[in-house]
Structure 1
Amino acid sequence: SSHHYSADVSAETIRLTGFAQYKPGMQVNLEKAMQANSRFGGHIVSGHVDGVGSITKVITHSDYIEFWVKAPDELAKYIAHKGSITVDGVSLTVNKVNGSEFMLWIIPHTLQETVMRHYQVGTRVNLEVDVIARYLERLMLGDKAAEPQQQSDISLAFLAEHGYLKR
């Protein structure tokens, strides 16, 4: 069996991800895609990178490691307590959120099987937010989705106006 893997990486991928910092010999997380006829466990991961975050705190507990990650501000709206997020290709549960920072509890098995065992303060990580949240945001635009937009029109006022919030 081979101990290496090669892939083409586009200029856009280099620009939008943390791959520019990778060097020959560094480990990455690889996982086979779930088959459509399998039992579903976890969340839908497409393999896209929505932004690059960085590790801000690493706290060792007796039976897990606590990682705090600072996400780009534009992704904060997609990150929810007990929601799903993908960090360097690993599907995880968000344990706490504070603004654009979120906390993960990583168990020993996950540390052993992923590159997370190498994380330290300052490590840059590729983030993928939950795709259902992205689709929901787009769906809530309704007919406005067909209009060119610089940024999302979703706001608390928009949600209240369309009956999603009590006034």
Structure 2
Amino acid sequence: MPSNQTLTILIILGVLMTLIGLFLSSFTMVENSDFLLRIGLWLIEVPGMFLLLSNGTFLKTKYSRIVMGLFAFMFIGGAFMIMHWPYGNSLLVVGCIGIVISYLVHFLKKPIKKRLDYIKLAWVSVLYIGAILRLYHLITTEYRILTTVLMILALMDYMLPKIKNKTLFD
């Protein structure tokens, strides 16, 4: 897994790209300027997920192995959907619901719960339940902004104390 410094730099780059994309799409007529905005948001969320995972306790528990197996269900379900075979949707739904339940059980078994833990639980729940709702066309893709907002809140909750202590790049 990349170091905290690399992930933090990618997140900062994502914030800059998002701000430039937002400026271009709002104040200019540059074609496809929302592309920078979308890539920037992606650069915030994906490295942010890896940063929080690598510095959290989830990877050290048995629940992370369960989640890896559920990801396999989701990949197989995706392959089934590509091949137009039956049960692809079902495998994806089982994987998504299983991931939310596994993370919820991990969260409930934690003896000490911080604000960051609640935000991460909300992020996981919104991401995977939203994916199921999107799969069945019950919501549009605009729900993804909620997952990005939750990730930004989690990153702020994680990084601000480290910035104050000057230990962000350690």
**TM-score (normalised: structure 1):** 0.27
- More helix by percentage: 2
Give the structure, 1 or 2, with the largest relative contact order (CA under 8 Å, sep 6 or more). Answer: 1
- More strand by percentage: 1
